[in-house]
Structures are given as C-alpha cells and as structure tokens.
Structure 1
Amino acid sequence: MAMALRFLRPLRGVRAFAAQPIKCKAAVARGVNDLRVEEVTVAPPGPREVRLKVHSNALCHTDIYTLSGQDPEGLFPSILGHEAGTEVESVGEGVVGDCIFCFPPRGKRTNLCPKIRGTQGSGVMPDGTSRFTDSSGAEIKHFMGCSTFSEYTVVADISCAKVSDTAPLDVCSLLGCGVSTGLGAAWNTLNVEGGSSVAVFGLGAVGLSVIQGAAMRGAARIFAVDTNPKKFVMAKELGATDCVNPKDYDKPIQQVLVGMTKWGVDYTFDCTGNTEVMRAALESAHRGWGESCVIGVAAAGKEISTRPFQLVTGRKWTGTAFGGFKGRSEVPPLIDAYESGRLKLDHYITHRFKGVEGNLQAVEALHSGECLRAVVTY
C-alpha cells in the first residue's frame, strides 16, 4: 500500500557504534502461507540505521497479500510486518534525523523515496545486505524496510518518525500504513471539502478511515459500499450516511450510485484492490469534476480499464501513496491529535494478541472477515 514508518521512543542509555548482535524471536515467512516462529540473530545497525525494540505490531492486509504469494516482489524467507510502535535500542553512525537518500519534498509533493524503494523491494538494507540471519547463519530478507514480526529489527533512519514520550505505542502502530493512508487519501490526495459527496468501496480499516476523514472534513453525503452488511454498523458510527450492498441490485453499482445522486459522486475511493471495483468507483464519479482514488493493492498482473469517455468528460483517476503524508513531519501530529482527543483511533483495534506467536493468530483473525486491525504486543 504505502511507505510505512516506524515510531520510536528513545531509551535511556542508547549508544551509537557499540551495539552487539541480538538473538530474539521472530515470525519468519519461509514460503507461501508458511509462517513459523524461530530464533533469529539481528545484527547491529550500520551507518544511518536504527535498531528497534518492537513494542506492538499491527497486521495489515499487505502482509497477508505477500504471505499468500500474490506479491510479485514477495521474497522468502523473510520477516514480514510494517505497522509498528517501537523503541530505539541502538543507532548507527551518522543518525541525526535528516534524510540523505532523497530530494527534499517540495510543496504538495510527498517524501516517497524512489532510491530507498529499490533496496526495500529487494529485501535488503540500503547497502544491499540483510541484518537478519537464522540459527544456521543463513540470510533472512527484510520486508518493506521494516520487518516488525520480530522482537528486534533494523531500519534505515529515514523510515522512522519520532512521537511523543506519552504516545501509546499500540495505537501508534495503526498509523504505520493503513489508517494513515485512508485519512490522507481523503485529506491530502483528493482534499475532500465540506458539503461534498463521497463514496467508499470496501469497508476494511482503510475504507473506514476514509469515511472518518471525509466526515471530519464535513462531507454532506457519504456512501459506504460493501458486500458484507455487518460492516455497515461501524461505517455509520464513523459518518456514513448511506450504506449500499451491490448484491441488493441487479445492475452495476456505478449505475446505482449515479441514480442515487444527480450526476454522480464528487469523490470516490477504491479500498478493495479489485480492478473491477476500481472501474466502478471511477464511473460513479460526477461527470465534469468527479475524482476517484485507487488505494487498494491489486493482485499481480491485474490491469485497470475504462472507456476514455469517462475521462474526457472531466473525471480524474488517481492513486495515493501513504495518503500523501510526509511521514516524518506529518504523522507525529496525528498522534498528538489522538492524545488530545481530536482524532479517534481505538475503534480500529478489534483483536489483541501477545508475543511473537500472536502474529500467527493475527493472520487467522484477519482471514476471518471480522477483524479491522489485530495488534500484537511483544
């Protein structure tokens, strides 16, 4: 989905350059749907790297997507996980908090870094090597530059965002990817304004966070679209005004939504990863000015299509990376908003588990269809 960030709270006595290897437990993905708890060795951080003690890890559908073998970049063996609240254990040389890998973000441009993305996609650190080995000394790959299914992990310093000392790290984990992406898609990418209409396709944690973000912006009408009516309860609590189940109609859902409005919906969001739903979201957008945002991650090899007429009549089709947030500077204020009561987040945590073994239970919970976010505390 989006570039994930690690949240860190400095520990007393943190020392640079003197760290030793650490043995700890991790949930290692050995192959497709093969997740095992093992002892691993986590090497000290190198230059511009940070070794973190993972406090809490939230499971994201992107982890499941990779574990199931659908991700063309998915590598095995690897340590998955990319939404976490952590503490700094040690730092490498040169960690000063400034990004040296990519150009400074300008204006509305995000700080999604193409340079570090290359090594992240290869399962290694920016220097091309891994910090994880198993009990036989064999290398284990990193995942999305994070690998938080482990009691300790090493990340590049630019993958960290410092939050307040009082921030609850289990809640911080929610903003490592999905919830931030949904809120940012509404606030940053499409910039939903008061009085507008919104349609959200797919009511997982990402879709619900879009609804929450749109409601906080004052959207007048919010359509929540899903084939599971059980999800409508939370959608309404977060601000949805209309709940629509495509199974209740004998015509395409885009025709239903256009019929329920004047000429379509101002802003639409796909949070499913289904390419047919992406098309339906675009074609539900208002003729002349409607905007549609693709958030969901499609399976490998899938392509999107529509008639050019949908675009030449004024609609816009776009995507979002991490909701357009500049992670290091703009995510910590979200935690401040949570601590002050201005941003509600606890409702996303529907399941809690303990220990690294809890990641296996979290995977099962996410498959159940009853889970928004399962948080595992180590």
Structure 2
Amino acid sequence: MSTAGKVIKCKAAVLWELNKPFSIEEVEVAPPKAHEVRIKMVATGICRSDDHVVNGSLVTRLPVVLGHEGAGIVESIGEGVTTVRPGDKVIPLFIPQCGKCNVCKHPEANLCLKFQLKEPRGTLNDGTCRFTCRGKPIHHFLGTSTFTQYTVVDEMSVAKIHADSPLEKVCLIGCGFSTGYGSAVKIAKVTQGSTCAVFGLGGVGLSVIMGCKAAGAARIIAVDINKDKFARAKQVGATECINPQDYEKPIEEVLKEVSGGGVDFSFEVIGRLDTMMSALLCCQEAYGVSVIVGVPPHAQNISMNPMLLLTGRTWKGAIFGGFKSKESVPKLVTDFMAKKFSLDQLITHVLPLEKINEGFDLLRSGMR
C-alpha cells in the first residue's frame, strides 16, 4: 500500500540533550510539502561534525535528528519537484544548491546562501519541521537528518545518483569522502610531484590522502598521534607517517626538516587551533598552501602574525571540498562506479541504527 501523502511512523535516533546518548524513538514523519522530497534512508555514516553537536561545540537546536552523510531511495515527492521521482536512489545534501543565489552563480564557490551551518534554524526551507516525537516537534540538522528510517529534505538538498550504486558505500560521498578528496584536488589544487602533509587520519583525512595521490603528489606525509591509523593511511596512499609525540621539537619543525624547507601543501583535518597553526607553519613560506578542513571549536579564535602570509603562503578553507553539491555528487558517484576511487578503506564497522551509540563510542576512541 502506498505511503505517499501519509504520515509515516518509523525509528529515528533523537538527541534530546547535549552530552547524552541518542535515544531510539518512534517518530512521525510528515509527507513532503511543495518542493520537498521524502526519502527512505538506507545507509548513513557517522561524522565528527555530528559529535560536535553532541558535545556542544557545534550549535544547533534541540531536540534534533542528526546525520548528514547518507543515501536512500525517494519514497514520495511534493508538488513541483522535478529533479527526482519515487524510486530514485539519492544522496541528501547538507550544503544545498539553490541555483539562484550569488554563491551558486559563482563558477567556483559552493557555500549556497541557504546553508544553515552558521545560523542553524533546525527546520526545512519553509521554517517548519517534518518530525514529531512524543507530541513534540523534532528539529532537522543541516536540512538532511539521516539518523532515521525516513527523512524529508528540500529539493535543493538532494541529488539523484547512479541507479546501480551501492548505497552503503556511496553514502560517504555525502560528506566525508567529498570533503577530503575535494580539499586536495579542488581547493589546494595539489600538483604533480609535490610534497603534502595531512594532519589527522580519520575518514576525511584518509580521503585527503586519496585526493593527493590522485593529483600526483610524490610525497604524502600522514600526521597523527594514533599509530594504529598509520597502516590504513599507507594503504590509501601515504608515503610516510609521523607521530608528533615521537619528537621533542614542534611538528612543524620536523616537517620542514624532512621536506627540505617546508611542504608544498598541508591539510588540517582535525579541528584544533594548534594543529591549524602547525599546518600553516610547516608550509614552504614562499609558496606553500595550507587548507583548513576540520571544523574548529565554536567561538574560538586564532591569533597569528601576518608575516606568515606576507612571505607568500596561502591559507585557505572550504566546506564539502569546494564541490557544488547538486551537480557534483552524481558525478562523484559515477566516478566511483567507474572504479576511479575506492571507498572500502573508509568503512571500519557496519552497525544497525539501534547501535548508533556504539558507533559514536568507536568514533571517539579513534576507530573510524
């Protein structure tokens, strides 16, 4: 029996309070309104940004259904939707692409003005929620909310993908892989034969390494205090691994020594202010490029000497690897289907929704 136009009752992981476990609840998911899409979620990744909400370093409205790295199948569509239809495989987009704002019209930029990270409303574009639990409205997260069996998104926040794609793998293109890979190939524009340093070897850091390798970097130096991550980093393309705790001098000095004066490109994929400075300082002072990939702590600032940039360094940042979401995600999935890159090394565990708290424990322990 068709569920189109009807309220769907399903399970979702709801965060009611900060620093508390997720609660698996029965939620009611309302039908999509005009220009909205209801999706049956098949798979979702756990991202450090979700954990930033749990611990309060990334602010959004509570209670909330988190998750922004998922893939599913369109269950029904609202009036006026033209880019997807029921039965399509799709990836929700935490950065929308409205196609109308100045950013969307810019040939390079991707941070659509409808994006909610800086001012999270916790709603869809019309200012209302589609989730209800215990008689209370439950907020959305970044217009996606993938920690649920069904979700509703705006049409500008969903991309139709290859019909044969394995959703349990390509869900990672919804955030982690694209964020890292794009930071190397699109934002830094890593060059053939160059030397790169990557700080942080979680899923996004590994994706940065994959991007550096694809761009032809000759040396890719992986940096992390967890040596257990080194083997996987080398599997995806790191040429050497360094643990800062093995040295008495600052890691930026170590990297400048081993690279003969500074690396060509560096990437901070942790979200710490001290490692952001180290990543900048380890760059060659005349032409090095450093990219901030990790989400920094809420309301914290860096104090730095402008001379670090005056000499010629470039300091950059980007969200989602600089990719325009609605047009780029289908292409990345097609590239995956053509075996231009693998996602297998980014998957360490597969758990049911009911064990989401175990998944976050694994994330916090460094197993990702």
Shared fold by TM > 0.5?
Answer: yes
Query: Which sits farther off after the overlay, 107-116 or 191-200?
Result: 107-116
The match for 1:87 among 73, 89, 94 is: 73
Pairwise mapping of residues 1-378 of structure 1 onto structure 2 (< 5 A)? 19-34=5-20, 35-71=22-58, 73-97=59-83, 99=98, 102-103=101-102, 105-106=104-105, 108-117=107-116, 121-135=120-134, 137-354=135-352, 356-370=353-367, 372=368
Native 8 Å contact 1:279 1:305 kept in 2:
no
What do residues 27-68 of structure 1 show as CA deviations (whole Å, max 9, x unaligned)? 100001331011111111111110100011111111111012
Alpha-carbon separation, structure 2, partners of 1:332 and 1:81: 20
Higher relative contact order at CA 8 Å, sep ≥6: structure 1 or structure 2? 1
C-alpha distance in 2 between matches for 1:245 and 1:183: 23
Q: How far apart are the structure 2 equivalents of 1:321 and 1:116?
A: 11
Corresponding letter in the other structure for 1:231 = K
- Aligned partners of 1:101 and 1:116 also within 8 Å: no
State how far apart, in whole Å, the 2-side matches of 1:249 and 1:100 are: 49
Contact 2:98 2:112 in 1 (8 A): no
- Could you say what secondary structure the match of 2:345 adopts? helix
Q: CA deviation at 1:362?
A: 1.3
Q: State the alpha-carbon separation in 2 of the partners of residues 338 and 360 from structure 1.
A: 29
* 2:104 and 2:112 in contact (8 A); partners too: no
In 1, Cα distance between the equivalents of 2:340 and 2:125? 37
User: How far apart, in 1, do the equivalents of 2:17 and 2:131 lie?
Assistant: 17
Task: Give the Cα separation in 2 of the matches to 1:180 and 1:243.
Answer: 23
Is residue 49–residue 154 contact of structure 1 (8 Å, CA) maintained in 2? yes
Q: State the alpha-carbon separation in 2 of the partners of residues 14 and 341 from structure 1.
A: 36
Report the Cα distance in structure 2 between the residues aligned to 1:120 and 1:148, rounded to whole angstroms: 20
Secondary structure at the aligned position of 1:357 is classed as helix
**Cα distance between partner residues in 2 of 1:65 and 1:27:** 16
Tell me the CA shift for residue 74 of structure 1. Answer: 2.4
Equivalent-residue separation in structure 2 for 1:296 and 1:335 (angstroms): 23
Tell me if the contact between 2:103 and 2:109 (Cα under 8 Å) persists in the aligned partners: no
Distance 1:218 1:100 in 2: 33
- Could you tell me how far apart the structure 2 residues matched to 1:107 and 1:54 are? 32
Inter-partner Cα distance in structure 2 for 1:222 and 1:151: 39
Aligned partners of 2:265 and 2:288 also within 8 Å: yes
Q: Deviations over 1:163-216 (max 9, x none)?
A: 111000111111111111000000100110111110000111111111111011
| Structure 1 runs of 4+ with >4 Å offset | none
* In structure 2, distance between residues paired with 1:231 and 1:360: 22
| 2: CA distance, partners of 1:264 / 1:38 | 51
2:211 alignment partner AA: G
Contact 1:53 1:89 in 2 (8 A): yes
Maintained 8 Å contact 2:236/2:345: no
Give the counterpart letter for 1:258 in structure 2.
K
**Structure-2 separation of matches of 1:196 and 1:119:** 34
Contact persistence 2:103–2:111 (CA under 8 A):
no
What corresponds to 2:91 in structure 1? none
- 3-state SS of 1:30 partner: coil
Does the CA contact (< 8 Å) of 2:115 and 2:142 recur in 1? no
Q: Cα RMSD (Å) of the superposition?
A: 1.9
CA contact (8 A) 2:69 2:146 kept: yes
Give the conservation status (yes or no) of the 8 Å contact 1:14–1:88.
no
Distance in 1 (alpha carbons) for counterparts of 2:292 and 2:2: 41
**1:116–1:126 CA contact under 8 A, matched in 2:** no
1:110 deviation in Å?
A: 2.9
CA distance, structure 2, for counterparts of residue 32 and residue 204 of structure 1: 23
* 1:118 Cα deviation from its structure 2 partner: 7.4
Q: Structure 1 residue 107: deviation in Å?
A: 5.8
Question: Structure 2 CA distance, aligned partners of 1:305 and 1:263?
Answer: 24
Aligned position for 1:6: none
Letter in 1 for 2:146: T
**How many residues are treated as equivalent by the alignment?**
354
Please tell me the residue identity of whatever aligns with 1:299: P
CA distance in 2, matches of 1:138, 1:179: 35
Tell me, yes or no, if the aligned pair for 1:227 and 1:246 is still in contact at 8 Å: yes
- Decide whether the 8 Å contact of 1:120 with 1:142 is kept in 2: no
